[in-house]
Amino acid sequence: MSAVMQEAAPQGAAAMVEVEGLRKQFRVRGAGFGAPAKVVHAVSGVSFSLQAGQTLGIVGESGCGKSTLARLLMGLIPADDGRVSIAGANLSQDAASLKALRRRMQMVFQDSFASLNPRLTIEDAIMFGPRVHGVPPDEARARCHRLLERVGLDPARFAGRYPHEVSGGQRQRVNIARALALQPQVVLFDESVSALDKSVEIQVLNLLRDLKEEFGLTYLFISHDLNVVQYISDVVMVMYLGKVVEIGPAEVLYERPAHPYTRALLASMPSMDPQRRTLQAPISGDPPSPIDPPSGCRFRTRCPHAAPVCGEREPALVDAQSGGARAACHLLDTASGHPLAGKELS
């Protein structure tokens, strides 16, 4: 797989998904009577671009803004600031253009049961999207049956069933068929395989790979499971407290992680090889609250290499010396003033 990054692509070549400075804050009521409202910084300036046909894996701990990012990308919640464009078209909150854009990008949710209406049969659930977009009933039904067959469910047996009458893995296949029913170019998976059994998970992942080839899809794959992300992604983006800390080609990022947080995350990934022992201490504790994120580098409170400069200035995404990845850490910038900057860390 070629390491296609935004800088690797020639300027002007349209990316399938382009995100610039995306920002979202939520207001929450303070604790106690009359307490001032607090602001949760869920997504704070996320930018990336993704070429057609690639898979971007988005990883991070719970609460790092992955799901908020998904909802922002889908236009389900309005962004405070920033720009999302899909296949060159801007995602705006204007209803008509939003509806047209919906067809290009679809989403598969984590909870396979909650994301299907319990009162609709599988067939009706899949047909809903195409019908909304004016596809005649017969054609929508035919498309639904083709897709059910494609995701490995016999339409004759499954079309008339209700969601509670099929297993979790089958339900997630239904959700995939539903997402594909609108013939999108981009599909976003928000922890879509996390709730499945390991054996079912790999079947679904292989199905996703096949579907991507067959329909020429571009994937955004959100997960907390580093193994799954490594398996399916071309490019991986690591998020921490609403910010991108590192983004790069999967093989580079997994081999030579540049950011201390990425290293810690990878260190906490259990290896299948007993000879390959974890040398670095896995990350400890919980991430700080996104209500009051640390100044400067948001990871500094848990970073083993934190220096005074980390609390003063926020690191920008820079090319890591180790390869094609880009990471936001003062250690990588010799001009940052960090005492260990530019030095090889153990």
Summarize as ranges the residues that interact with other proteins (CB under 8 A): 71, 74, 76, 95, 98-100, 102-103, 106-107, 109, 111, 114-121, 123-125, 127-129, 131-134, 137-138, 160, 162, 164, 175, 178, 182
- Tell me whether residue 129 or residue 248 sits nearer to other proteins (CB atom): 129
How far is 19 from 21, CA to CA, in rounded Å?
7
How far is 21 from 148, CA to CA, in rounded Å?
38
Helix (H, G, I), strand (E, B) or coil at 49: strand
- Tell me whether residue 144 or residue 250 sits nearer to other proteins (CB atom): 144
Answer whether 222's CB lies under 8 Å from 188's CB: yes
What are the tokens at 43? 């997504």
* CB 165 to other proteins: min, Å: 9
Answer whether 194's CB lies under 8 Å from 120's CB: no
**Residue linked to tokens 């390869």:** 323
* CB 117 to other proteins: min, Å: 5
CA 114 to chain centre: 20
* CB 138 to other proteins: min, Å: 8
- Tell me whether residue 72 or residue 310 sits nearer to other proteins (CB atom): 72
Answer whether 62's CB lies under 8 Å from 223's CB: no
* CB 164 to other proteins: min, Å: 5
- Tell me whether residue 51 or residue 110 sits nearer to other proteins (CB atom): 110
Answer whether 170's CB lies under 8 Å from 207's CB: no
- Tell me whether residue 122 or residue 320 sits nearer to other proteins (CB atom): 122
* CB 334 to other proteins: min, Å: 45
What are the tokens at 320? 């890591």
